[in-house]
Structure 1
Amino acid sequence: MMSSHFEPDAALISAARERISAYAVRTPVVESPALNRELDARILIKPETLQRAGSFKFRGALNRALQLTPEQRAGGMVAWSSGNHGLALSYVAKELGIKATILMPQEAPRTKIDGVRANGAMVRLYDKTREVREEIGAQIAAETGAVIVPPYDDPYVMTGQATLGAEFAEQARAQGLPLDMALFACSGGGLVSGASCGVHGVTPETRIYSVEPEGFDGMARSLAAGELTKAPASGASICDALLVPVPGKLTFPVCQKHLTGGLSVSDDEVKAAIRFAYSQLKLVVEPGGAAPLAALLAGKLDVRGKTVGIVLSGANTDADKFANFITAA
């Protein structure tokens, strides 16, 4: 299944949807009349915040874990994650009775670290300035026989995320509203690469955009340059889930083929989107998960008269930070 170029095709996506269907939530599609009026468009919102483990990452983690051999299951899984991949994989591991070790940066949100531990996984905190997570993961895998499950640059994970795109495009088409455009948050590109394949399998004409934090917009820069390009990653961003400065080696070629372009959003634009989701949609959305909504509210695209799909990709945020986001105007 591994090669220098991998793209989830219709058969793989269909098999993955069947495989995960007993566990994953088919999240709904909702609309906000206020948002539609404001943008003069039909904005179809898919709150993957309601997915088990609180993010879309559940799909990819589940698709990977369900394909482990009995020998691999005995060895367990190891992954690195700032939060949502770790939460999803630890949740899946608990569900399937598999051991899991999650490497997390010391500054990861407390709610994500606590959540991974609550799921029964072993958490190994690391210092980003002195340690390389891939090296630690490889060492643990060598010592324990655990299977490494990368957060995005992995065929099984990308195919799991593709199920989200296929499901969304089908739901839109079933409403008689095929997607003219679709926006997905992007870090290493696992979601947008997989989801774009899923969408284009249903509606090939949909224009798809990645959305990243300003300064961490490696996908947008890479798409513009036509080659892997690292974002400066200077300064900070509240989007803790979207801080990978350069796309994955597997995800980028897929995005080159399927994406129309890449967008970036500021912290203030993301905060405005979090407040909008809370007040208008009654949804808790973490900063990274609000990026596509932020792009629309900030007018990054001309969407007038169009049907636009956005995914709110995660809901895992510290309570005190969330309170600040929704109360500070």
Structure 2
Amino acid sequence: MKDHSEMHIPTFDDVIAAHERIRPHVHRTPVLTSSYLNDLSGCELFFKCENFQKAGAFKVRGASNAVFGLSDAQAARGVATHSSGNHALSLSYAAGRRGIPCHVVMPRTAPQAKKDAVRGYGGIITECEPSTSSREEYFARVQQETGADFVHPYNDPRVIAGQGTCACELMEQMQERGGGLDCVVAPIGGGGMISGTCLTLSRIAPEVKIYAAEPEQADDAARSFRAGHIIADDAPETVADGLKVPLKDLTWHFVSRHVTDILTASEQEIVDAMELIWKRMKIVMEPSSAVPLATILKNPDVFAGKRVGVVITGGNVDLGKLPWMQK
């Protein structure tokens, strides 16, 4: 099984190349603000809205970079991955744009909305049990049968370089507004978005601090950060279904070197932050995307008076099962 994590650590040149490669296939998403949330948090928040991205999530950046970077011979065999949702549908979208097959191993408990979207983009789903070990076992079988190119959801230099284009855009948009940022907060699961953010900001704006936001009930990245080595949980339970996966060697490289801190929020704090953004900003976003705001509201001293970029990572939520309807 060829694992692209063994290839190389991506550089900022890879981000620049990705920016050009994926331009025809992704949106330049807007940066929105809310005076209400500024007052509530005691800082100036700039929301980078990847919930408006193609396929509804930032992951289409990394997926498109991987798919459109393949040679014709590689592409003919298609691509394959394992994912709880957003990477699966992003890779299916990109593969569909290139006209190649996409095989996806998904936990049977993944939101129905995400499964439907994967199939809608032409992805071929194999279901597994909701654990990392089951996911990897089923995936090895699918890849052996198809010979498809493995595009890991986050531990892949092509994917990390693609995710790095989000921070590139955010900094361009802040310059257009005539100001910079003091820090950026993004969710952390496997660490693809955070790694891309680290890769970009350490090169173009090293003074900007990077905070990762994580659910308390899936806090393996925070524990890894404190311990100085990767600690992986097999099957954590959290409403933030996109943040259940552990860090890997490539993402740990960036997290351990460039992240200022990893902050956590409880399930209730995440749901409250999500409801707040829906009500106040009138935008649809998923629970994973609410974790940054939840940690900002929980740690007012850290962010007081700062200009803070907040990455809203995705908007693929099951509208029939909104978390505040479960009360």
In structure 2, C-alpha distance between the alignment counterparts of 1:143 and 1:178, rounded to whole Å: 49
Out of 157, 161, 168, the residue aligned to residue 170 of structure 2 is: 168
1:305: which partner in 2? Answer: 305
8 Å CA contact 1:215, 1:233 repeated in 2? no
Out of 94, 97, 100, the residue aligned to residue 99 of structure 2 is: 97
2:321: which partner in 1? Answer: 321
Q: CA 1:3/1:130 → structure 2, altered by over 3 Å: closer, same or farther?
A: closer
Render the CA deviation track for 1:164-206: whole Å, top value 9, x for unaligned. Answer: 1121122223323211111111111111011121123221111
Q: CA 1:42/1:14 → structure 2, altered by over 3 Å: closer, same or farther?
A: same
1:269: which partner in 2? Answer: 269
Letter in 2 for 1:197: L
In structure 2, C-alpha distance between the alignment counterparts of 1:231 and 1:268, rounded to whole Å: 21
8 Å CA contact 2:42, 2:300 repeated in 1? no
Q: CA 1:70/1:301 → structure 2, altered by over 3 Å: closer, same or farther?
A: farther
Out of 65, 68, 78, the residue aligned to residue 67 of structure 2 is: 65
8 Å CA contact 2:131, 2:235 repeated in 1? no
1:19 aligns with 2:21: yes
1:284: which partner in 2? Answer: 284
Q: TM-score w.r.t. structure 2 length?
A: 0.94
Aligned length: 325
Q: CA 1:86/1:4 → structure 2, altered by over 3 Å: closer, same or farther?
A: closer
8 Å CA contact 2:51, 2:57 repeated in 1? yes
Q: TM-score w.r.t. structure 1 length?
A: 0.93
C-alpha deviation, 1:8, in angstroms: 3.0
Unaligned 5+ runs, structure 1: none
Q: CA 1:3/1:37 → structure 2, altered by over 3 Å: closer, same or farther?
A: closer
Q: CA 1:262/1:233 → structure 2, altered by over 3 Å: closer, same or farther?
A: farther
Unaligned 5+ runs, structure 2: none
C-alpha deviation, 1:23, in angstroms: 1.1
8 Å CA contact 1:215, 1:232 repeated in 2? no
1:238: which partner in 2? Answer: 239
C-alpha deviation, 1:157, in angstroms: 0.5
Greater helix share, structure number:
2
In structure 2, C-alpha distance between the alignment counterparts of 1:55 and 1:250, rounded to whole Å: 21
Q: Secondary structure at the match of 1:22?
A: helix
C-alpha deviation, 1:30, in angstroms: 1.1
8 Å CA contact 2:82, 2:105 repeated in 1? yes
8 Å CA contact 2:26, 2:54 repeated in 1? yes
1:185: which partner in 2? Answer: 187
C-alpha RMSD of matched pairs (Å): 2.0
C-alpha deviation, 1:120, in angstroms: 1.2
Q: CA 1:41/1:104 → structure 2, altered by over 3 Å: closer, same or farther?
A: same
Q: CA 1:311/1:130 → structure 2, altered by over 3 Å: closer, same or farther?
A: closer
Q: Secondary structure at the match of 1:315?
A: coil
C-alpha deviation, 1:305, in angstroms: 1.3
1:54 aligns with 2:51: no
C-alpha deviation, 1:130, in angstroms: 10
Q: Secondary structure at the match of 1:302?
A: helix
8 Å CA contact 1:214, 1:266 repeated in 2? yes
2:218: which partner in 1? Answer: 216
Letter in 2 for 1:312: I
In structure 2, C-alpha distance between the alignment counterparts of 1:80 and 1:73, rounded to whole Å: 18
Q: CA 1:100/1:300 → structure 2, altered by over 3 Å: closer, same or farther?
A: farther
C-alpha deviation, 1:229, in angstroms: 2.0
Letter in 2 for 1:237: T
8 Å CA contact 1:216, 1:232 repeated in 2? no
The worse-fitting range, judged by mean Cα deviation, of 104-113 and 195-204 is 195-204
8 Å CA contact 2:166, 2:197 repeated in 1? yes
Q: Secondary structure at the match of 2:303?
A: coil
8 Å CA contact 1:166, 1:201 repeated in 2? no
**Identity %, equivalent residues:** 37
Aligned residue runs from structure 1 range 115-126, under 5 A: 115-126=117-128
Render the CA deviation track for 1:236-293: whole Å, top value 9, x for unaligned. Answer: 211111111x311110011111100101111111111111111111111101111111
Q: CA 1:129/1:247 → structure 2, altered by over 3 Å: closer, same or farther?
A: closer
In structure 2, C-alpha distance between the alignment counterparts of 1:319 and 1:278, rounded to whole Å: 12
Q: CA 1:85/1:39 → structure 2, altered by over 3 Å: closer, same or farther?
A: same
Q: Secondary structure at the match of 2:264?
A: strand
C-alpha deviation, 1:12, in angstroms: 1.1
